[in-house]
Amino acid sequence: MSDFRTEHDSMGDVQVPAQAYYGAQTQRAVENFPVSGWALPPALIHAMGRVKHACGIANRDLGKLTGSGKNPISDEQVQVMLDACREVVNGDLDAEFPVDVFQTGSGTSSNMNVNEVIANRSIELLGGDRFDPEKQIHPNDHVNMGQSTNDTFPTAIHVAAAYEIKNQLVPALSGFVSALRTKAEQWDQVIKIGRTHLMDATPLRLGQEFGGFARQIELSIERAESALSALLELPVGGTAVGSGINTHPEFGARVAAALAEDTGIGFIEAVDHFEANAQRDGLVEAHGSLKTIANTLFNVANNIRWLGSGPRCGFYEVSLPSRQPGSSIMPGKVNPVMSESMMQVAARVIGNDQTITLAGAAGGQFQLNIMMPVMGHTVLESIELLASVVNAFVEFCVTEMEANVQQCEAAVEQSLSMVTSLNPYIGYEMASKLAKEAFSSGKTIRELCIEKEVLPEDTLNVALDPMRMTEPQK
């Protein structure tokens, strides 16, 4: 048997790998774009399967597939076509989507890749010959009915990104909040010194510090949900330029409703199809929220890295779990590798935002954005990286962290900022002189105040109580 078969499209014959489910247009794209070796993310392919399934349902219910138009098909053929769409959704055919990310800017190559695979798999499920050039289920006439790449491909990007935010990123961030809240509760009575400008500041509780981290991640969940909301309007139904040529007036609304039911996400038909086809502003907005989440994750990971620095010559207020040897030359060295991993992911996502921004601004030309494949790839990469690194950071770092209570509390008494609580008793100017003298003499604020009899002992003890300093006082 030959390694190739001959397929035909509007430009002529093409040699296609013999057992591939895809056809001529996919093979042309494989040959035309040997650029990166990066296929579209599976999440986007699965979303395209969802979109094709929803489109098939809409066309079935509107009587378009089995009606009196060109090449009507039977109810059985419609159902088999829908079954093949579900196989794409489920990832059963992932190996059949080889087109490079850096392809035609509308995503036409990948749209036809999906159409060809679904058509040929449908024919096979019916017991027919999927290699027969006379396709009983046609990639354009049936699978792509009422659609254009220009409306279905961006619809799939929205569906994929929203689905991954809901099912991957939000749960990961929620787990992060829970882990940080647990640590905040466990460490609520651990006193430590605060730091502003990396310099000694007034005391706080380690639990308060980690409670602040937890709130940062809670706000990140809100930003993820905001990103999802920016993706709810779907372009499907606009076909080529937004006018809806060759589709039913109810098609877009029906497809959006089917996708909402399938995913549990509140997708709706675009308010204006000309805007929805032409511009990817919602995607730019969504990724802006992802960039902000990345910014937050970088900050939290870096702060935890600093808190774990040492173990003898750093802060070492928190003991980070030892995950692996940290040096090829320094025996016993262990590094904050999970923080470093998260910080690198954050840097990547922040960089990805530049790609999304430029593609959204420069790619939107008249009735079509011509940089959509890279936008789809990039936003899904960001979501996957953020979700994955958060899960790893929680499992391999946060849950195993321990407070070094003695280290935390030892620095408090030594801090010159302890003098701040004396301001209400002796005033800023005198307190400032005490701080300078304490520093030059090597004495603590308490020792110096006792020596100079600045305040009665009982008053001094109240004023210099570090736990009292961690809350507002009447």
**16 contacts 107 by C-beta, under 8 angstroms:** no
For 388-442, list the strands marked E by DSSP: 402-403
Tell me which residue of 337, 384, 408, 411 sits closest to 187, measured CA to CA: 408
The β-bridge relationship of strands 402-403 and 318-319 is: antiparallel
What is the Cα–Cα distance from 393 to 294, expressed in whole angstroms? 14
Tell me which residue of 185, 191, 184, 181 sits closest to 468, measured CA to CA: 191
Tell me which residue of 85, 103, 3, 98 sits closest to 47, measured CA to CA: 85
**402 contacts 66 by C-beta, under 8 angstroms:** no
Chain centroid offset of residue 281 CA: 17
**290 contacts 348 by C-beta, under 8 angstroms:** no
The tokens describing 84, both together, are: 């093949």
> What are residue 464's phi and psi, to 5 degrees?
-100, 20
463 contacts: CB under 8 Å, gap ≥ 6: 421, 422, 425, 455
What is the Cα–Cα distance from 252 to 361, expressed in whole angstroms? 26
Q: Which residues partner with 191 through β-bridges?
A: 205
Residues known to be catalytic: 197, 327
